[in-house]
């Protein structure tokens, strides 16, 4: 059983471009969580999704950020018009049932130049 997959592992974008981060949960997991980790900091919750539904997006910035988890395919975290402050590691986690027992992916490191 493959773990949580994230791609790309590293992404470089210029200011103003769009960043798309993908997360494929573990097989059988229908709950996905996105976190952001700034350098030297802990992870900050962004959004919690179940298939086709956003359950909790209280950690998402109000503008430029969006997330989806379609019926088929990976979950996508989309950042429009990236700024330097968006540079961070973005981690996805999945679970079979609710927030406990989250399994984390390796992360996508976004650098905005």
Partner 1 sequence: SQQGEEDPQALSIQEGENATMNCSYKTSINNLQWYRQNSGRGLVHLILIRSNEREKHSGRLRVTLDTSKKSSSLLITASRAADTASYFCATGNTGNQFYFGTGTSLTVIP
Interaction mask 19-58, partner 1, x per CB under 8 A? ----------------x----xxxxxx--x------xx-x
* DSSP track, 20-86: EEEEEPPTT--EEEEEEE-TTS-EEEEEEEETTEEEE-TTS-SSSEEEE--SSS-EEEEE-S--GGG
Q: Is 101 in the site for partner 1 (CB under 8 A)?
A: yes
Q: Which is nearer to partner 1, 29 or 45 (CB)?
A: 45
Q: Are 23 and 32 in contact (CB under 8 A)?
A: yes
- Answer for which of 7, 59, 87, 111 binds partner 1 (CB under 8 A) is 59
Name the nearest CA neighbour of 10 among 84, 108, 82. Answer: 108
Q: Are 102 and 34 in contact (CB under 8 A)?
A: no
Nearest approach, Cβ of 63 to partner 1 (angstroms)?
A: 21
Q: Which is nearer to partner 1, 32 or 82 (CB)?
A: 32
Residues making contact with partner 1 (CB under 8 A): 4, 6, 35, 40-45, 48, 55-56, 58-59, 91, 93, 98-107
């Amino acid at each position: 059983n493959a773990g949580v997959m994230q791609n790309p592992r590293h992404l470089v974008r210029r200011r103003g471009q769009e960043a798309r981060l993908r997360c494929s949960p573990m097989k059988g997991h229908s709950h996905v969580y996105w976190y952001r980790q700034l350098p030297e900091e802990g992870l900050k919750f962004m959004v919690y999704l179940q298939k086709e539904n956003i359950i909790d997006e209280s950690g998402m910035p109000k503008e430029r950020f969006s997330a989806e988890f379609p019926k088929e395919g990976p979950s996508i975290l989309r950042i429009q018009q990236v700024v330097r402050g968006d540079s961070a590691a973005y981690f996805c986690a999945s679970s079979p049932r609710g927030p406990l027992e989250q399994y984390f992916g390796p992360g996508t490191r976004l650098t905005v130049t």
